Amino acid sequence: MSVGERIAMLNVIEKLRSLGLRLSFPHQSAVKGVQSLRELRPRAGASAWRAFYRRIQDDFVIAGIGPEAEVDQKGYNAAVRRAIERLKEVVA
């Protein structure tokens, strides 16, 4: 991930921290086919990267970062699987 993309990712994470549930599309979206997993979309979706997160009680837990689905579907799916596994560890 380039420096510019890392900055964009940190910016959207800060938006989530500041706005919480009020953070709207295009900055975040549901991950299709996965219950309760959402993706942060840096640069209002124009970034090639996504951060995968879930709300657990009053906290937002970012469990992984991976490529955007249209850029790399296989990498996206792998990142989603890893995020789900990490979230299982947090909840347990």
Kindly report the CATH number assigned to the domain that includes residue 38: 3.30.2310
Residue 91 confidence (pLDDT) above 80: no
User: Domain tally for the chain?
Assistant: 1
CB contact at 8 A, 32 and 50: no
Question: Could you tell me the pLDDT band of residue 92, with boundaries at 50, 70 and 90?
Answer: low
CB contact at 8 A, 77 and 66: no
Provide the residue range defining the domain that includes 67.
Answer: 3-91
Q: Report the chain's mean pLDDT, rounded to a whole number.
A: 96
**C-alpha to C-alpha distance for 35 and 43, rounded to whole angstroms:** 24
Q: Please name which of 88, 41, 44, 46 lies closest in space to residue 65, comparing C-alpha atoms.
A: 41
Strand partners, 54: 61
Length of the chain: 92
How confident is the model over 41-59, as pLDDT tens digits? 999 999 999 999 999 999 9
